[in-house]
Amino acid sequence: MKYVLVTGGVVSGLGKGVTASSIGVLLKACGLRVTAIKIDPYLNTDAGTLAPFEHGEVFVLDDGGEVNLDLGNYERFLDIKLTRDNNITTGKIYQFVINKERKGDYLGKTVQVVPHITNAIQEWIERVAKIPVDGNEGPADVCIIELGGTIGATIFSGHNDSGILDAGDIESMPFIEALGQFSYRVGPGNFCLVHVSLVPVLDAVGEQKTKPTQHSVRSLRGLGLMPNILACRSTKPLDENIKEKLSQFCHIPVANIITLNDVTNIWHIPLLLREQKAHEAFIKLLKLQGIAKEPMLEEWTIIARIYDISHDPVRIAMVGKYTGLSDSYISVLKALSHASIACHKKLVVDWVPSSDLEDSTKAEAPDLYRAAWRRLRGADGILVPGGFGDRGVEGKILAVKYARENNVPFLGICLGMQISVIEFARSVMNLEDANSTEFDPDTTNPCVVFMPEGCKTHLGGMMRLGSRRTYFEVADSKAAKLYGNVSFVDERHRHRYEVNPSMITEFEKAGLAFVGKDETKRRMEIVELHTHPYFIGVQFHPEFKSRPGKPSALFSGLVGAACGQLELLLQNPSHCGTLTRRLTTSNGFSPTQSHQNGNSKDLQQAMASHPLNPTRTGMGIRRSPLRGCHTGTSAPMAMECMSDE
């Protein structure tokens, strides 16, 4: 087993997650099997109880693991299925060690951070690295390890305006020590350290500054970790003299100093690494000569290129509670992006804080109220994602009502589905106090209720989590057609409330169709309004299984309906992925398995003849430092999409 450790320095938010994922893509394109581990030094056992404003969305895995959003990056980029153990936290490690101590496994010895905690970390990494994650038997060839946190960050204090450099968060120290020991134990040729750092450009002089990176590398060395490759974030490619300076002061060969400059979209990052021959550095450092092949990334190039040349916009209003931080909905954004690329549309997300749609905002902040409704009414499609708590719920209900009454394409996810049921009960069935018991425990018309197997005393890990099977009850429903007319789909869940089973008959008599149910046929999974062009709500989270080139069926339906391609999609569900079909042999993917269900389909496409294929056109990799991720109201630099902190 070979190990690649990715650390970050100077500041957080540089994009370690996307960098680690892109390294994995590059190595996978070299014919290697790749797995990934994310280390989060916080004391939480997992991400399940963290608020979205803390670390972004909680990503859910097939096994029900609630993990850091970076594991979503790994799964999307590498097309793998990770486990909860692929996300290591301080809480997990200490819990593991304390449980062993309680059982007497340490034979009366004093349990200490060194060696017991550090040994537990190393044992965990080695064990998890051997778990197959790509559908094949046996362990992977390379394990990418991302260490969360920042090493060598600048801290300013009232006593020192010039700033000082710290060695990282206190809780990171056991992991840093363990990884230093681990690198020594596995030996040269089996371990490679990539340090992602910042090379800022001062506007006043336009000069690239290396001092922050020099200090960060020095801090890393002082902790016993020696970087082999330096990945430098900057607004533009590093000048050769800057690389030579970094090489001299950081003791890293110039060939191993890589520029991660601003690009138009994150799918250029693996191409950027290949262009700078990063794969050759990895092959040499990990002694993979004769095993790894030259990376072929033509299909990846096509996806990046389609994103760049698509100019016809499709506007999707995202009506949510956490719109102040886009990372709160990062998987939803990626799923929308995958679908829009497949439909050759430029995605524009208009963020609509749900509370701004409510009458209380109209009275208190009329400008916000008018702006929110203007964005909602100007959208081609409306999406209400998942969430918890009652803040902004009435605004979401108003958004669903607008979509239903005005035939605007609508997709509701998890809470979004429950909201659509509540709105239908109020507006169509005239049940004025219809609500969820989550928001009104005393409602006389509880459309949404707490699941009987749920737990009200503990929050962590107590929801209905992970991959669950949904059976289609109506074969000619839009959802069934979009999934390829299969009998069932396996999707990931994260909820503790459900549509009230005792009210299903009333809903269906009123015209609301529950076209997908669980194996008991008592739990509602998919709801549709047949009289509407596209009105679908799902209890599960389809965004978690969307991939570049393999967009989620329901997100494809939303974007297709929003841009006039729905009928074509319903007739031929594979249409929306024709040009961005599975990244086949060059990325090591199997071309014969449908992504979201158990039915086998031949998805291999004749990509070579397509006019966008770079091998036909001689198209180069465009690296212009354009700004903006096309997410509506704000336009941060494109590499903002790489942010993982």
Distances 616 to 26, 51, 179, 333, 640 between C-alpha atoms, Å: 22, 48, 45, 31, 32
Structure tokens at 50: 């963290």
Predicted confidence at residue 124, as pLDDT, reads 97
pLDDT digit string (tens) for 374-387? 999 999 999 999 98
Structure tokens at 199: 């090379």
By the 8 A CB rule, do 46 and 86 touch? no
Please tell me the class of the 2-157+164-304 domain.
alpha beta
pLDDT digit string (tens) for 190-246? 999 999 999 988 877 778 888 889 998 998 998 889 999 999 999 989 999 999 999
Residue 479 has pLDDT above 80, yes or no: yes
Average pLDDT over residues 348-361: 95
Same fold, 2-157+164-304 and 310-575: yes
Average pLDDT over residues 71-79: 94
pLDDT digit string (tens) for 311-338? 999 999 999 988 888 888 999 999 999 9
Burial (CB count <10 Å: 0-12, 13-18, 19+), residue 161 = exposed
Helix, strand, coil proportions of the chain in percent (round to 5)?
Answer: 40, 20, 40
Fold of 310-575: Rossmann fold (3.40.50)
Task: Report the b/e string of 171-187 with b at 16+ CB within 10 A.
Answer: bbbbbbbbbbbbbeebe
pLDDT digit string (tens) for 33-73? 999 999 999 898 888 888 777 778 999 999 999 999 999 99
- The structural domains of the chain, with segments of one domain joined by +, span 2-157+164-304, 310-575
By the 8 A CB rule, do 102 and 130 touch? no
Predicted confidence at residue 575, as pLDDT, reads 58
Q: CA neighbours within 13 Å on the CB side: how many for 290?
A: 1
pLDDT digit string (tens) for 535-585? 999 999 999 999 998 999 999 999 999 999 999 899 877 655 544 443 333
Predicted confidence at residue 629, as pLDDT, reads 38
Residue 640 has pLDDT above 90, yes or no: no
Predicted confidence at residue 458, as pLDDT, reads 55
Q: Are strands 410-413 and 535-538 parallel, antiparallel or unpaired?
A: parallel
So which residues are the catalytic ones? 414, 541, 543
In degrees and rounded to multiples of 5, residue 621 shows phi and psi of -90, 115
By the 8 A CB rule, do 497 and 463 touch? no
Residue 160 has pLDDT above 50, yes or no: no
Q: How many residues does the chain have?
A: 645
Closest CA to 461 of 45, 96, 79: 45
